[in-house]
Amino acid sequence: MNSNDQHKTPIVLIHGLWMTPTSWTTWAEYFRARGHEVIVPGWPGIDDRSVADIRRNPAALKGVGLAQIADHYERIIRALPEKPIIMGHSFGGLLTQMLADRDLGVAYVGVTPGQPAGITTLPISTVRSGFPVLRNPFNKNGASPISKSHFHYTFGNDLSRAESDKLWEEFAVNSVNRVFFEGVAAAFNEKSGASHVDYARGDRAPLLVITGEIDHVVPPVIGRAIVKKYSQTGSPATVAYREFAGRTHRIVSQTGWEEVADYALTWATTHAEVPTSN
C-alpha cells in the first residue's frame, strides 16, 4: 500500500483565549497537507465568526465557562467516526486536558497549555497577562477587549510594537472573562475546581506538553509543573514534555512554527493509541 493511502487519524485543534480558529491556520494547513482531516471549531460564541464581527458584537462570549466550552467540544468530537488526536493552545491546552479526562482522544498535545485545577504555579508574568481581566471581579461574566499594548506583551513580545499591532488587527478578539476567573480559582481547588482532572487516571491516552522559552503567559515553569503533577501520581499513562527555545505564546504562528508543528504531529502519531469509534 502506498504510504499516502494509509489511514491518517483526524486532528481536532482547540484555540485559546483572545483568539479564533484562524490562529490555527498554519498548523491546520500543515497537517492537511500530510493527509489528516483537521477540524478547528470555535468556542461557543466564537464559532466560525470573523474577528471583526466578534469585536463589533462580543455579547455571545459573556458568561461562557470552561465546562460549557468542554461540553461543546465533546459533542463535536463524539460526532466524529473515530477518536481524534486533540491539540490545544493556551486555554485550549487546558481544555485538551479536560477532554483527555473524558477519554475523547487517542493522543493529546497541550501547546503552552493552561494548568488544570490544583496547580498553584503562577509566575508574575502569567498574573500580569491576566490582570486586565482579573482586576475587575465585577466583570467576571463580561467579554473584555485586549488592548494593542497588552497583546504586544502576551503574544508579540518577540516583535516590534508595529509588527505586533498588525497581528492584533488580524487575530485578536474579546476575552471570555469567566474562564480566567475559573482558572485562577481552580488553582486552589483541586477537588472541585472548574478545570478539575484526574491526574492519576491510568487509562488516559498519551499527553505531550509543549512550552516556549520566552512565553509570558505560560512560561516553562508552568509546563514543568503540569507534567510533574501528572507524573508524581504514579499513573502509567504517558506524559511528556518539550520546551522550544526562543518561542513566545504565539508559538503556533511565530516564525519557525513548522518545527513545533512537525514535532507535535510526529509525537502524537507515534504515541497515539489504536483509533476506536466514538
| Alpha-carbon gap, residue 97 to 184, rounded angstroms | 16
278, part of any domain: no
| Alpha-carbon gap, residue 271 to 267, rounded angstroms | 6
| Alpha-carbon gap, residue 221 to 90, rounded angstroms | 14
2, part of any domain: no
pLDDT in tens, 197-220: 999 999 999 999 999 999 999 999
CATH number of the structural domain spanning residue 260? 3.40.50.1820
Taking alpha carbons only, the member of 95, 51, 54, 65 closest to residue 77 is 95
125, part of any domain: yes
90, part of any domain: yes
Q: How many CB atoms lie within 10 A of CB 243?
A: 15
Counting residues of the chain whose pLDDT is more than 70, the rounded percentage is: 97
pLDDT in tens, 84-125: 999 999 999 999 999 999 999 999 999 999 999 999 999 999
Q: Predicted confidence band at 273 (pLDDT cuts at 50, 70, 90)?
A: confident
H or E, element range at 34: none
Phi first, then psi, for residue 240 (nearest 5°) are -125, 160
What is the model's pLDDT at position 2?
36
- DSSP states of 248-263: -TTTTTSTTHHHHHHH
pLDDT in tens, 121-147: 999 999 999 988 988 998 999 999 999
What is the model's pLDDT at position 153?
97
Q: Considering just the CA atoms, what is the radius of gyration of the chain in Å?
A: 17
Q: Predicted confidence band at 79 (pLDDT cuts at 50, 70, 90)?
A: very high
Q: Residues 18, 46: contact at Cβ < 8 Å?
A: no
pLDDT in tens, 148-172: 999 999 999 999 999 999 999 999 9
Give the count of domains, the chain. Answer: 1
Residues spanned by the domain of 223 = 7-271
| Alpha-carbon gap, residue 255 to 156, rounded angstroms | 12
Look-up of cell digits 487575530: 171
What is the model's pLDDT at position 276?
56
Q: Would you call 134 exposed, middle or buried from its count of C-beta atoms within 10 A (0-12, 13-18, 19+)?
A: middle
195, part of any domain: yes
Q: Residues 74, 44: contact at Cβ < 8 Å?
A: no
What is the model's pLDDT at position 7?
86
27, part of any domain: yes
277, part of any domain: no
Q: Is 237 helix (H, G, I), strand (E, B) or coil?
A: coil
Counting residues of the chain whose pLDDT is more than 90, the rounded percentage is: 92
Three cell numbers written together for 194? 472548574
Return the higher-pLDDT residue of 43 and 134.
43
276, part of any domain: no
